[in-house]
A and B are shown apart, each in its own frame.
Chain A
Amino acid sequence: MSKKDFPIFDKHPSLVFLDSASTSQKPRSVIDAELQFYNNDYANVHRGIYQLSENATAVFEETRRKAADFIHAEYAHEIIFTKGTTESINLVAQCFGCLQIKSGDEIILSAMEHHANIIPWQQLCERVGSTLKIISLNKSGELDLDAYEKLLTEKTKLVAVIHVSNVLGTINPIKKIIARAHAKNIPVLVDGAQAVGHLAIDVQDLDCDFYVFSAHKMYGPTGVGVLYGKTAHLDVMSPYQTGGNMIRRVTFEKTEFNVLPYKFEAGTPNIAGVIGFGAAIDYINQIGFEKIQSHDNKLLSYATSELEKISGLKIFGTSKNKSGVISFTVDCAHAHDIATILDQLHIAVRAGHHCAMPLMDYLNVPALTRVSFGIYNELSDIDKLILGLDKVRKIFT
């Protein structure tokens, strides 16, 4: 669809990039936005009493507004710029978790969480003496909502759940999950790392308390992410890190913190990264989610039907509600051997535990091969993948 927009394919014309769930390639407009900012417009934000700095601040804050619009947040100050999804979750676990979770309380996660949405909560539990409760999965790799309902008790103080699984591809019924938690006044954090860039997100419609994601999985730069939080929560949370920018007045005796969102943005931020992120949002908006989703679905259904023809190949995650992620095993070869052989044919896939070791244990597999799609993928990429898997079979049988 848009391969020509991505310079990486000029440099590597034979590259078949099937690892967008790990990180996506960057369109020229994103690269140019950063380059142009450094070349022509660079200065610090929120500090300088000179034109360059004022311009940089304006573009930086415009991007915050753009990000708010992108996920339909009501206020720009509900968008906190972070390093990425991982930092966003850690921020909530530390600054909201300590207010919300006490000894004996329970936090609900799902069996398909990425390590980034497990360990911050596990650490919190160890600190305060709370417990993790895990929503189980059905055979198709979907959350068992009846099991979830049973886990929601008066002890539950938070639900943290992935929107789209980075392994199974399942698109979780987040709105339902949130509504059931809210019925018991339990706040919900949604890990949207795999969802943004693939699905239109409306945090007001979802009514989630926190929504977190990274720019680099949605055609933007690395090192930039977003924490969306409802104003009422962000207001009562203490700062995550302290230093410059996040203050209003400092004496050696006492510090008065800055207003939202700056309270959570200590130090000089990743200014160029944020500007590149803005260009990534523009890029996605230009294409539109209708086209993006139909492209995703076309690749997903073609790849699924072609892969299913391969004997000894088993797909993990067979929900009807799936994003462009397919994980599988092949009986004759280990995921790493498959990835090495495919790499020789310039096909980039992911192999291993996908930062979801508890899910691997749950599925009882040591490792999976994963292919995942971006807007630059074409049906011919799938054909090349299938030929590559033929070669794997030839080597191992």
Chain B
Amino acid sequence: MSDLRELYQELIIDHGRHPRNLKRMDDASVSKEGFNPLCGDRLTLFLKIDNDKIIDASFEGNGCAISMASASLMTECLKGKTITETQKIFDAFHLLVTTGTEINMQLLGKLAVLKGVCEYPSRVKCATLAWHTMIEAVEK
């Protein structure tokens, strides 16, 4: 059994309870709805993109601490990144939360705190909901 403190670190509890960038964005360049049919969690992601660069990111929705913290930290991380970089960040994050393998950690920054999720296979979908939504949004 893994230590719960590895999963529910203070930063996750903080972002889970007070998610950053939790707001509708009326002038978004793209918005996308994400849905996890397993648990019913839903979120809408908003991105403002200028010249291939994400200049603002926000989301709406509600869910567990893991999914809220992941969406909150993701929107913080995305600001200022190019679309090409978002794919790299996605790959690094996905690998981290599914296997615990650390690559391109400098790109992930604070998101490293979600590594503990890899010990809880049933919670990986909570951590990745915002991310799959983001990839679908930038692909369109």
The binding surface of chain A is classed by DSSP as: helix
Report yes or no: B63 in contact with A366, Cβ–Cβ below 8 A. Answer: yes
CB contact between B66 and one of A337, A366, A395 (< 8 Å): that residue: A337
Instruction: Assess A336 versus B123: contact at CB under 8 Å? Given A366-B41, A395-B13.
Output: yes
Is B89 in contact with chain A by the CB < 8 A criterion?
no
**Complex CA–CA separation, A341 to B41 (angstroms):** 19
B residues within 8 A CB of A360?
40
- Residues 21-42 of chain B, each 1 if its beta carbon lies under 8 Å from chain A, else 0: 0000000000000000011111
Rounded to whole Å, the gap between the CB of B39 and the closest CB of chain A is 5
Give the most central of A335, A336, A351, A360: most B CB within 10 Å.
A336
Report yes or no: A344 in contact with B4, Cβ–Cβ below 8 A. Answer: yes
Rounded to whole Å, the gap between the CB of A348 and the closest CB of chain B is 12
- Taking CB atoms and an 8 Å cut-off, the chain A residues in 301-354 that contact chain B are 333-337, 340-341, 344, 351-353
B residues within 8 A CB of A353?
39-40
Instruction: Assess A357 versus B13: contact at CB under 8 Å? Given A334-B63, A334-B64, A334-B65.
Output: no
Instruction: Assess A340 versus B123: contact at CB under 8 Å? Given A334-B64, A366-B63, A396-B13.
Output: yes
**Complex CA–CA separation, A335 to B40 (angstroms):** 11
Cβ-closest chain A residue relative to B5: A395
Interface residues on B, range: 20 to 34
Report yes or no: B1 in contact with A344, Cβ–Cβ below 8 A. Answer: yes
Is B90 in contact with chain A by the CB < 8 A criterion?
no
Report yes or no: A340 in contact with B40, Cβ–Cβ below 8 A. Answer: no
Cβ-closest chain B residue relative to A365: B40
Is A89 in contact with chain B by the CB < 8 A criterion?
no
- Residues 91-135 of chain B, each 1 if its beta carbon lies under 8 Å from chain A, else 0: 000000000000000000000000000001011001000000000
**Complex CA–CA separation, A348 to B17 (angstroms):** 25
Report yes or no: B40 in contact with A395, Cβ–Cβ below 8 A. Answer: no
Report yes or no: B39 in contact with A351, Cβ–Cβ below 8 A. Answer: yes
Report yes or no: A336 in contact with B4, Cβ–Cβ below 8 A. Answer: no
Instruction: Assess A333 versus B39: contact at CB under 8 Å? Given A344-B1, A395-B8, A395-B13.
Output: no
Rounded to whole Å, the gap between the CB of B128 and the closest CB of chain A is 14
A residues within 8 A CB of B41?
366-367
Is B62 in contact with chain A by the CB < 8 A criterion?
yes
A residues within 8 A CB of B17?
396
Report yes or no: A352 in contact with B40, Cβ–Cβ below 8 A. Answer: yes
A residues within 8 A CB of B62?
334, 366
**Complex CA–CA separation, A216 to B17 (angstroms):** 39
Give the most central of A335, A337, A351: most B CB within 10 Å.
A337
Extra pairs beyond A340-B122, A367-B40 (12, CB < 8 Å): A335-B64, A336-B66, A337-B16, A337-B64, A340-B7, A341-B4, A341-B8, A344-B1, A352-B38, A352-B40, A366-B42, A395-B4
Q: Give 7 closest A-B pairs by Cβ, nearest first.
A: A334-B64, A336-B64, A353-B40, A352-B39, A337-B65, A337-B64, A395-B8
